[in-house]
Amino acid sequence: MKQIFLLLFTFLYSLFFTQNKIDSLRLWNYEELKNKFTIYDEDNKRLEARAVSQYYLTKAKKEKNILEIAEGYNLMHSTEDFPLALKYIDSLAMITKNVKGDIYPARTFIIKGNLYYKYGNLKAALDNYILGLEYSKKQKNVKQIAYANMNIAYLNSYMGRNKEAAKIFRYHLLNSQNITDEYQHDQMRVSLVYCYIKINKIDSAGFFIQEGLNSPFVQKNKYNMNQYLYLSGQLNLTTKNYQTAIAELTKAYAYFSSINDNNQNYVLYSLGKCYDELNNKQEAIKYFTEIDSNIKKTEITFPELADVYTFLIDYYRESGDKEKQLYYIDRFLKVDKKLDEQFRYLSTELHQKYDTPNLLQEKEDIIKELKNKKTFLYVSVSVLTLILFFLTYFYYKSKKGEKKHQKIAQDLIHLIEKRSPETIQHQNGKQIEIYQSVKVESGSKTNKALPEEVVQSILKDLDTFENKLHFLKNGITLTSLAKNIKTNTGYLSEIINNHKGKNFTTYLNDLRIDYALDQLVKDKKFRSYKLPVIAEEIGYNNVQAFSIAFKKKTGTTPSIYIKEIEKSISH
């Protein structure tokens, strides 16, 4: 009875509200209706916003105004959940398919991309943004080219390419006159701050947060104010001001959860990280568990979920709760599959459909400029001739080096397939060790003042460190390892030098590279990953560090090694 009464009340209220508003709505033009819709939408008054958008569409249909009918469908889609919202966008596409001008169909693709982005389908979002960008360029619509580029920058940020995304956001933030409205201008600033925090530009992030908070537009808008509150909390988390971060994030969470906005999950993640840093695992678990509950309902994922589920799995493994450990392993596998699919698709398609065309366009612009200036033509011919000469020289030199690297890679693969603990001799005279650490006889070089029981204890801990693959964790340092095995850095460094025959950095790199060499041969899935993913999997912060360590250890490169494995399999 209670539910029936509630439904009846909602229906009667909707009817009453709509009927009472129609008279006042009739007095407004399209621009005034749109402004009223925006106010209701920003205040999360969905019922009122829907009533305005319905009247807008009815008015446009009655007047047979095609462009305003299209705008009516756009407003209607904003008030509905995904399935119905998509139908309204399809109606928008149908009504505008014969419209002349420079707005459609580019705008339709951008709107549809935004809908897919909102509901976590990043593959479909990218495809629509690319189409929107292509049509905008054909129609030479500067405003929509900017919109498409900014939306693609959001995807770059999702992929962790925050440096590239920050350049686009900053450019449009500082050059957005007559292109964006106040809301879009502010969202660029929000996105730029997020990127700056991620790439550790702390001062710049702080500057733009303060600029946003001082903005009159933000001060009268609760949603935007709470976005900056969240970002300020993120910044304080990054700078280790945990209590201040918790206070700001808690306020932001109270708002975003009250309107059921997806930002609540990002805030929960940051709160969990704060409590983890404060060594309060129980509080961290509370927030991470709530994230999982939300993700089950919406299925909208984000990259940091990998950290969330890893933390939950480790926590319940340590507490001995096998049921919850198994549950979160299962949840992690499902979420990770979706994240992996999105990451792979975006990493490939962003490069092929966005980065490469942009480079080609840049090249064409340069060629046109050179053609317009005669003097540059002769200079360019000379320069190109020199470049061709050097390219030819470096090509033959690189081919020679590549053959050498291929031979090294083949020898490594052969050695791993035989599972031999031997070493192989490279053409440059360097030896590579596989599946072994250099061990020095106990006491041969160790400081006599170091007790034997301390030496054996640390060696035992190092065996555990190697056997349990703890060296694959990111951010390991001599200090952090010493702390974990409850010794000091002096003892640990001395024992690694004397018993492993190398310094700590070389010891750590050798373990990681040996693991990678082995896994790339044996594990097809591991081999299919992009190099940045492989680097992250084995504990490196970036692909450059991995490539340098790999070449130093083996004398060849990861890409050549993988190619030679694929060749050996195909033969």
What tokens does 303 get?
Answer: 């990259």
> Between 423 and 492, whose confidence is greater?
492
End-to-end C-alpha distance for the chain, whole angstroms: 72
Q: 64: phi > 0 → left, psi -120 to 50 → alpha, else beta; which?
A: left
- Local confidence band at 379 (pLDDT 50, 70, 90 cut-offs): low
Distance, in Å, from the CA atom of 533 to the CA atom of 94, rounded to the nearest integer, reads 42
Q: What percent of the chain has pLDDT over 70?
A: 81
Q: Provide long-range contacts, Cβ within 8 A and 24+ apart, for 175-184.
A: 176/146, 178/143, 179/142, 179/143, 179/146, 180/146, 180/147, 182/217, 183/38, 183/217, 184/147, 184/150
Distance, in Å, from the CA atom of 327 to the CA atom of 313, rounded to the nearest integer, reads 9
Distance, in Å, from the CA atom of 497 to the CA atom of 509, rounded to the nearest integer, reads 14
pLDDT tens-digit map of 440-463: 444 444 455 678 888 999 999 999
Instruction: Tell me the average pLDDT of the chain.
Output: 82
Residues 6+ apart with CB under 8 A from 275: 246, 281, 283, 284, 287
pLDDT at 432: 47
> Between 397 and 502, whose confidence is greater?
502
Q: Is 397 exposed, middle or buried (0-12, 13-18, 19+ CB in 10 A)?
A: exposed
With 0.85 as the threshold, say if the pTM is over it: no
> Between 537 and 376, whose confidence is greater?
537
